[in-house]
Structure 1
Amino acid sequence: MHPVHSPALFPRWYSVGAALVAVMLWSSAPLLAEFAKATPPLQLTAVTLLAGSLATLPLSRRVNVAASGVGWQLSVWVGIPLLIFGAVSTYFIGMRLAPAAEAALITYTWPVLFVLLSQWSRFGRLRIAGVVGALIAFSGAALLLVPQAISGGLGGATTGYALALLAACCWAIYSWLSQAAPVALTPLLPRLLLIACAIAVAASLILEGTLALPSGEALLAGIALGLGPYGVAMVAWDKALRWGHASLVGSLAYGVPILAALLLVLAGMSVLDWRLPAAAVLVVVGCLKAGR
């Protein structure tokens, strides 16, 4: 889930097709996570990351990270796996504590956070368009949360929303590190996901007390999450941005929160009211504004 900028070398429909594959797979993540709700979230994280590592294994090849210096070695082999683990685990936990559609919508504010981080690191300041876009995007989240907060109805969901926002921050920092890294990270992705899986296993043993494979529908959902949203989708997204125009392809990602919410509603796992589509539109508009 990281933007990469490169010139278009293939017909436009190649990149658009690959981007649409990634978008559809990302949109299915909240629905698949709901099917695996019976599995402890850290166990589900471990299964998902293991499946993602296996799905991306054909891309693995040796990359000389050592030549980039000790700082980048630590960032790649320690920082990025921790960010992946943090993003996936907090996303799953957040969706247990808060309504799935709303939590997913908050998590998918990560593109606007990535834009702000990139602007700050590159220019040493934030541009007006980025700030305005962030305000618009987060007004969408506020549209969902403020009425409940005023009426005192947030309750335990507050922690879930906070974890969903933490997942967005992890994806934004991961995306920035992926873009700034002096080496291509896609060939390292199987190993990075495997390290993140090991972290999830250790966290599950410490915090959840047991570690066992989920069964039935939950196991299939966990494998599907790893193969799709955290495996094939990440590869497809990287290829889409390398084959085509980053601005054209990148704009397609902003449809993820709308499609994710729609799938949850169609599956009967979320209730549709006017605030959910309105908030999704605000998030999309905000991301587009910030990314201009």
Structure 2
Amino acid sequence: MQLDHSGRLSSPWFGGAAAALAVVLWALVPLLVARAGELPPLRLSTLALLAGALGTLPMAHRRRHRDAPLSGAQRGLVYLGVPMLITGAVGASFAAFGRAPAEEAALILYAWPVLFLLASRYLSLGRLPAGTLLGAGLAFSGAALLVAPQALAGGVSGAWDGYALALLGALCWALYSLACQRSHWRLGERMHHQLLIASLMVGGASLALEGTAALPSPDVLLTGALLGFGPYGLAMLAWDRALRDPQAHRLGNLAHAVPVLATLFLVMAGVTQPDWRLPLAALLVVAGSLAASR
């Protein structure tokens, strides 16, 4: 799949379409994870990452470039560091959905665009403007709106482990997006390798921590394959393309719509009940993220 050298695919609309596709596919993750409830999180992560590696293989950009080859340290970052980020992001996300209510874990997890924005702003400007910090605080207040009632009712015995895992996943996704901006690393062309390495990492952890189990049902296998081909295959290629767009700083704002869509999909599927806190918290995340991006 050629991403950069076709006039049609390099149009300004293509970057926005790629980002929108990634957002919609990522918003389906909580619902798909809920449908695959019988699989332990690490085993589900292994299946999804393996399916993603197979799904991105025919779409990988195989054209040779004249760029300087990667150094030894860069190869270590691309083929070890980035797969570790993918492993942490996917594994922590799936575990979070199993330990906390899906809609709350999703809202915390998908606050990662704020973390990505703060890091990229600091790296580019050498400082964080007051407006950026104010917007980030407003966005995080959306997550606090959901977490605080749980903490007040049950203290640290509530779903804090799920919240912590969701925050870990958010940190990994933010760092992964920063890595995608390193154009000479060409992560999109190496996506299938990175997903395969990540699936081996998570598979080893699954065998050590979760042991062996019988083969899951065909429906669960299909759900894991859909997770891989969509949110962790096509969506990651699309997001890599969007981050290399000249308007990437604007396209990144589309990622703030993920918690809103994720909550909407969960309510529409009957997985969770409508709650007045959910739309308000989602609006705070979106409003704060957009304010920070200005």
- TM-score by structure 2 length? 0.89
Residue 173 of structure 1 aligns to a residue whose secondary structure is helix
CA contact (8 A) 1:51 1:223 kept: yes
Q: What does residue range 96-245 of structure 1 map to in structure 2 within 5 Å?
A: 96-152=98-154, 155-180=157-182, 182-210=184-212, 213-242=215-244, 245=247
Relative contact order, higher structure (CA 8 A, sep 6+): 1
Residue 185 of structure 2 aligns to a residue whose secondary structure is coil
Partners of 1:20 and 1:122 lie apart in 2 by 25
**Alpha-carbon displacement from aligned partner over 1:29-48 (angstroms, at most 9, x marks no partner):** 11001001110111100000
**Alpha-carbon displacement from aligned partner over 1:222-274 (angstroms, at most 9, x marks no partner):** 10000001111122233345567324433322211101001101111112111
Partner of 1:289: 291
User: Which residue type is aligned with residue 52 of structure 1?
Assistant: G
Check if 1:95 corresponds to 2:97: yes
Structure 1 stretches lacking a partner, 5+ long = 1-7
Question: Which piece of structure 1 moves more, 204-213 or 28-37?
Answer: 204-213
User: Which residue type is aligned with residue 87 of structure 1?
Assistant: A
Q: Give the % identical residues.
A: 51
- 1:115 Cα deviation from its structure 2 partner: 1.2
CA contact (8 A) 2:180 2:240 kept: no
Check if 1:49 corresponds to 2:49: yes
- 1:216 Cα deviation from its structure 2 partner: 2.2
Question: Which piece of structure 1 moves more, 205-214 or 254-263?
Answer: 205-214
Partner of 2:40: 40
Partner of 2:5: none
CA contact (8 A) 1:65 1:183 kept: no
Q: 1:11 to 1:81 in 2, by over 3 A?
A: closer
User: Which residue type is aligned with residue 166 of structure 1?
Assistant: L
Partners of 2:243 and 2:209 lie apart in 1 by 38
Q: 1:246 to 1:87 in 2, by over 3 A?
A: same
Partner of 1:5: none
**Alpha-carbon displacement from aligned partner over 1:188-239 (angstroms, at most 9, x marks no partner):** 0000000000001100011111166432221111100000011111222333
Partners of 2:243 and 2:172 lie apart in 1 by 21
Partners of 2:241 and 2:166 lie apart in 1 by 27
Partners of 2:266 and 2:28 lie apart in 1 by 9
**Alpha-carbon displacement from aligned partner over 1:67-100 (angstroms, at most 9, x marks no partner):** 3323222111111000101000000000100000
Residue 115 of structure 1 aligns to a residue whose secondary structure is helix
User: Which residue type is aligned with residue 72 of structure 1?
Assistant: Q
- 1:132 Cα deviation from its structure 2 partner: 1.2
Partner of 1:4: none
Partners of 1:278 and 1:82 lie apart in 2 by 34
Partners of 2:120 and 2:77 lie apart in 1 by 17
Q: Which of 69, 77, 82 matches 2:79?
A: 77
CA contact (8 A) 1:85 1:199 kept: yes
Partner of 2:277: 275
Partners of 1:86 and 1:65 lie apart in 2 by 30
- 1:155 Cα deviation from its structure 2 partner: 2.8
Residue 69 of structure 2 aligns to a residue whose secondary structure is helix
CA contact (8 A) 2:49 2:195 kept: yes
CA contact (8 A) 1:97 1:156 kept: no
Partner of 1:265: 267
Partners of 2:263 and 2:125 lie apart in 1 by 35
Q: CA RMSD in A?
A: 2.5
Partner of 1:19: 19
CA contact (8 A) 1:18 1:236 kept: yes
- TM-score by structure 1 length? 0.90
Partners of 1:282 and 1:232 lie apart in 2 by 29
